[in-house]
């Protein structure tokens, strides 16, 4: 019961991106197309899940003074694994993601979940928590990328969708500022539904 | 060099073009005073870490730098973040020792700079630009300074706007982060007029 609640709450009610405003740093630039957004989301999911798992396994033997540096080393190692994997098997996508894969290290979601959850919970719970938070992040990323690719280039995953109905591409959607405005609108909709999140 | 500076402050602004450092940008831009302090700290750390990482990249990480046939570039993430974390720790200790009042003002933000994406992003972009725009330690200092000032400029402007917006009638659901994102987007569109400037 608790496990399923841990899993579902980061997806909507307590989403790391639109509620806690974490991890936007490296998020929005990869949302021009759906494919890199999806790959980025999966990479972050992998890193959050396994850094939570590893830190949770280490938590009892770890002096708290050196925990930040240990966290950074664990996270950086996982990110290097992801980066090397993408370069080996998905070279084109890894070129599009460029420096943003490296920036998963400084993604506040990863550090935040390790600090807030993994250091005080059992490994399996922490793994699920990391997975769910990564999934919540990936969901927002894919949502933003969906709107930007659909209206910016009239395609979804590279297939024509709107173009065949005579849609003229709005190339402003491909510029960085529109990602911010879209995420602002997502927050707007989300908070209109969840009234308890609204600020006084 | 001037071109590199203008480019990194206005055209490739860390916040508006790359979304770097958004977390602290949204969280700390509620008053101009703290925004100024954090911006100054970020600029300082950026000016120091980008050249340090440049030297690290040139003499250790780049292919054939350490020894013939050795390519350590896959280690760059972990070494860059180690340099940044160590440097932030150092700055924290120095500020605490010599200026306790500034230390109290910055508070929690100082250690958080280590995980500010603008800092890490600056170093990673610098690594990509080696051989094209950045060819010397001087260039890397200019780039670090430019990107730090760009971030500073963005957060101070944002804080000024948010102080004014307190008095406006914003829809309840948009208050706080929602409106902050939309304002940033509009500011980003305004900053797009700088694109294509060459000096």
A25 and B19 in contact by Cβ < 8 A?
yes
Residue A20: pLDDT over 50? yes
Residue recorded with tokens 């100024």: B36
How far apart, in Å, are the Cα atoms of B20 and each of A24, A106, B16, B170?
8, 10, 8, 26
B33: contact with A, CB 8 A cutoff: no
DSSP letter at A21 equals: -
Q: CB neighbours (10 Å) of residue A192?
A: 15
- Per-residue model confidence (pLDDT) at position B40: 83
For A113, the domain range is 2-12+23-191
Residues in A closer than 8 angstroms to B184, CB to CB, are 177, 180
B77 and A111 in contact by Cβ < 8 A?
no
In this predicted structure, which of A2-16, A85-99, A121-135 has the lowest mean pLDDT? Answer: A2-16
Residue A38: inside a domain, yes or no? yes
DSSP per-residue codes, chain B:
-HHHHHIIIIIT-TTTTT-TTHHHHHHHTTSHHHHHHHHHHHHHHHHHHHHHHHHHIIIIISTTTSSTT---GGGHHHHHHHHHHHHHHHHHHHHHHH-HHHHHHHTTHHHHGGG-HHHHHHHHHHHHHBTTTB-SHHHHHHHHHHHHHHHHHHHHHHHHHHHHHTTS---GGGTTHHHHHHHHHHHHHHHGGGTT---
- The angle subtended at Cα B181 by Cα B178 and Cα B183, nearest 5°, is 110
Query: For residue B76, what are the contacts with CB-CB under 8 A and spacing of at least 6?
Result: A102, B57, B61, B124, B127
Distance from CA of A106 to the nearest CA of B (A): 5
pLDDT tens for chain B, residues 1 to 199: 778 888 788 877 877 777 787 777 777 777 788 788 788 888 888 888 888 888 888 888 877 767 777 777 778 888 888 888 888 888 888 878 887 877 777 666 677 777 777 888 888 888 888 877 777 888 889 888 988 998 888 889 888 998 888 888 888 888 878 888 888 888 888 888 887 776 6
Residue A200: pLDDT over 70? no
For residue B134, list its beta bridge partners.
Answer: B130
Residue A1: pLDDT over 50? no
Band of pLDDT at residue A104, cut at 50, 70 and 90: confident
Find the residue in B nearest to A100 (Cα).
B121
Residue A129: inside a domain, yes or no? yes
Find the residue in A nearest to B121 (Cα).
A103
Residue A18: inside a domain, yes or no? no
Find the residue in A nearest to B12 (Cα).
A176
- Per-residue model confidence (pLDDT) at position A2: 67
Q: Which B residues in the span 155-194 are in contact with A, Cβ-Cβ below 8 Å?
A: 171-182, 184-189, 192
Find the residue in B nearest to A78 (Cα).
B78
Separation CA A88–CA A92 (nearest Å): 10
**B103-108 long-range CB contacts below 8 Å, 24 or more apart?**
B105/B34, B105/B37, B106/B37, B106/B38, B106/B41
B32: contact with A, CB 8 A cutoff: no
How many domains does one find in chain A? 1
Nearest beta carbon to residue B181 from set A80, A83, A180: A180
Residues in A closer than 8 angstroms to B50, CB to CB, are none
Q: Which B residues in the span 86-145 are in contact with A, Cβ-Cβ below 8 Å?
A: 114-121, 124-125, 128
Nearest beta carbon to residue A180 from set B85, B173, B188: B188
| Token output for A12 | 């909507």
Residue A183: inside a domain, yes or no? yes
Whether the predicted model's global pTM rises above the 0.90 cut:
no
DSSP per-residue codes, B62-119:
STTTSSTT---GGGHHHHHHHHHHHHHHHHHHHHHHH-HHHHHHHTTHHHHGGG-HHH
Q: What does the pLDDT look like over A39-93, one tens digit per residue?
A: 888 998 999 999 999 988 888 888 877 777 788 888 889 998 998 898 899 888 8
Residue A22: pLDDT over 70? yes
């Amino acid at each position: 019961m608790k496990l399923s609640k841990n899993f579902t709450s980061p997806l909507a009610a307590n989403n790391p991106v639109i509620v806690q405003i974490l991890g936007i740093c490296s998020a929005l630039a990869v949302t021009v197309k759906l494919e890199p957004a999806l790959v980025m989301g999966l990479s972050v999911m992998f890193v959050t899940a396994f850094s939570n798992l590893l830190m949770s396994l280490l938590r009892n033997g770890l002096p708290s003074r050196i925990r930040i540096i240990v966290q950074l080393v664990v996270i950086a190692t996982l990110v290097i694994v992801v980066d090397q994997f993408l370069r080996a098997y998905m070279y084109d996508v890894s070129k599009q993601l460029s420096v943003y894969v490296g920036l998963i290290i400084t993604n506040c979601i990863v550090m935040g979940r390790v600090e807030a959850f993994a250091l005080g919970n059992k490994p399996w719970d922490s793994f699920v928590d990391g997975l769910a938070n990564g999934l919540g992040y990936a969901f927002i990323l894919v949502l933003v990328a969906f709107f930007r690719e659909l209206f910016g280039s009239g395609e979804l995953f590279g297939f024509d969708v709107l173009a065949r109905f005579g849609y003229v591409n709005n190339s402003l959607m491909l510029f960085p500022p529109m990602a911010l405005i879209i995420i602002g609108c997502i927050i707007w909709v989300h908070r209109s539904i969840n009234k308890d999140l609204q600020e006084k | 060099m001037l071109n590199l500076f203008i480019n990194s402050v206005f055209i490739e602004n860390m916040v508006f073009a790359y979304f770097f450092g958004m977390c602290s940008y949204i969280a700390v831009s509620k008053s101009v005073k703290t925004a100024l302090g954090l911006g100054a700290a970020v600029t300082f750390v950026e000016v120091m870490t980008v050249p340090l990482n440049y030297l690290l990249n040139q003499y250790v990480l780049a292919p054939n730098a350490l020894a013939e046939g050795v390519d350590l570039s896959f280690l760059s993430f972990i070494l860059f973040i180690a340099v940044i974390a160590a440097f932030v720790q150092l700055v924290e200790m120095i500020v605490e020792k010599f200026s306790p009042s500034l230390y109290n003002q910055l508070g929690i933000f100082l250690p958080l700079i280590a995980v500010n994406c603008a800092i890490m992003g600056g170093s990673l972009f610098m690594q990509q630009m080696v051989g094209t725009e950045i060819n010397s330690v001087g260039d890397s200092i200019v780039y670090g300074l430019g990107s730090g000032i760009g971030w500073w400029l963005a957060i101070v402007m944002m804080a000024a706007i948010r102080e004014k917006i307190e008095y406006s009638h914003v829809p309840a659901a948009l208050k706080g982060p929602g409106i902050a994102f939309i304002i940033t987007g509009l500011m980003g569109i305004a900053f797009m007029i700088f694109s294509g400037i060459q000096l």
